[in-house]
Amino acid sequence: MKVAIVHEWFSGIGGSEKVVKVFHDIYPEAPVYVLIHDKHKMPEEYNNMDIRTSYLQKIPFANKIYQNLLPFMPGAVERYDLSEYDLVLSSSTCCAKGVITKSDTLHICYCHTPMRYGWDLYFDYLKGKNKFMQWIIASQMKNIRIWDRLSADKVDYFIANSNNVARRILKNYRRESRVIYPPVDTDFYTPSNKDDNFYLIVSRLVSYKKVDIAIEAFNKLGLPLIIIGRGPEYKKYKKLIKSNIKLLGHLSDSEVREYYRRCKAFIFPGEEDFGITPVEAQACGRPVIAYGKGGTLETIIEGKTGIFFYKQDAESLIEAIQKFEKSSDDFDKDFIRKYAEKFSVNRFKNEIISFIEEKIYEFKNL
């Protein structure tokens, strides 16, 4: 059986890239089709894959401006010739699911989310743009949204990374999906006996992650907070923080793991489709204080592995932190760790293999 893997782009490591890595572990001979490949931002294990890029790779500075190439991505994806493959696995947050396959090729899409800036985050995407840019974006996004909806019909079977995303797949595409939670490396992220008194955030520093809410809250509380990550908001946040907050930038996975292991609790102020970092923190035995919306409702047990706050503002977060300060001894490290193991890589791999085998049989007997 000839297999191809399709992903949007290789421009850094996130949860979706880790899904691709497991797909490739299952099918090591499969080529990986991506729109853009920035080899300087990808680990060697990814760069060693048989990576096949789109024509967008040839555009000058494509690795830096790829997000501005959205209007060209549907056409680029449809130019992949996948006619020789029996099975296509797409890992999609945007356009990867839109590949064209033959009638006898099985296409399974692992959907991390429907295109968020085309649907539920559309108006957030427009914020901060001038009137002319809003008009340009609106005129282009209308056609992209139509393509996105129609491209869902090219998928034979959908997998959603959470019940949260499954609901959006049903709403936006009118398609059913099977929920298989993404892989978390619980063999790597493990507890230790080291304890410290700081709170922790691990995040890309972009506006929708709402790290500014945590900065405002900890500026008022005066409690120690460590923020790990880089992004376009880094310089802005650097100016906002007081002396109790440290902004460390990018760190290696091993360094991040040490901070997970030692922190008092992990802070997660954004809304995510699933949210890998809260599970990584729990795998290290640490409780999570999270915004109670989106994927966190499926990965955190209130009062057992974490605490929720339900208004996405500093005051609500402060109340949750103060509640945690009074009850921190009630959280059991071993219980939290055991709970996180249900999101392991091996569990994900086994569920994916089982799903593929089931759908191959079903597809052949339609």
Do residue 30 and residue 174 come from a single domain?
yes
Scored b (16 or more CB within 10 A) or e, 233-253 reads: bbeebeeeeeeebebeeeeee
Do residue 139 and residue 203 come from a single domain?
no
Amino acid at 185: D
Residues 141-172 have pLDDT tens digits of 888 889 999 999 999 999 999 999 999 999 99
pTM exceeding 0.85? yes
The arrangement of strands across the sheet holding 157-160 comes to 51-53, 32-34, 3-7, 87-92, 106-111, 157-160, 177-179
Residue 284 lies in a domain: yes
The SS3 assignment for 187 reads coil
What does the pLDDT average to over 193-221? 94
Do residue 125 and residue 230 come from a single domain?
no
For residue 37, is pLDDT > 80?
yes
Tell me which residue range forms the domain holding 262. Answer: 199-342
Candidate from 20-24, 41-45, 355-359 with smallest mean pLDDT: 41-45
Do residue 218 and residue 154 come from a single domain?
no
Do residue 113 and residue 210 come from a single domain?
no
CB 210 within 8 A of CB 269: yes
Compute the mean pLDDT over every residue in the chain, rounded to the nearest whole number.
93
Do residue 329 and residue 296 come from a single domain?
yes
Do residue 326 and residue 220 come from a single domain?
yes
45 HSE (CA, 13 A, CB side): 9
Cα gap 33→290, rounded to integer Å: 35
Residue 190 lies in a domain: no
For residue 296, is pLDDT > 80?
yes
What separation in angstroms does the CA of 113 have from each of 120, 146, 272, 292? 10, 16, 10, 18
Find the CATH number of the domain harbouring 149: 3.40.50
Q: Residue 20 — pLDDT band, cuts 50, 70, 90?
A: very high
Cα gap 109→302, rounded to integer Å: 32
Do residue 48 and residue 134 come from a single domain?
yes
CB 243 within 8 A of CB 177: no
Candidate from 6-15, 72-81, 91-100, 319-328 with smallest mean pLDDT: 6-15
Residue 194 lies in a domain: no
Q: How many residues does the chain have?
A: 366
Residue 252 lies in a domain: yes
For residue 133, is pLDDT > 80?
no
For residue 362, is pLDDT > 80?
yes
Do residue 330 and residue 238 come from a single domain?
yes
Residue 191 lies in a domain: no
Closest CA to 148 of 79, 96, 90, 213: 96
Do residue 223 and residue 86 come from a single domain?
no
What does the pLDDT average to over 10-38? 94
Do residue 161 and residue 207 come from a single domain?
no
Do residue 84 and residue 207 come from a single domain?
no
For residue 63, is pLDDT > 90?
no
Find the CATH number of the domain harbouring 286: 3.40.50.2000
> How many structural domains is the chain composed of?
2
Residue 122 lies in a domain: yes
Q: What is the pLDDT of residue 115?
A: 87
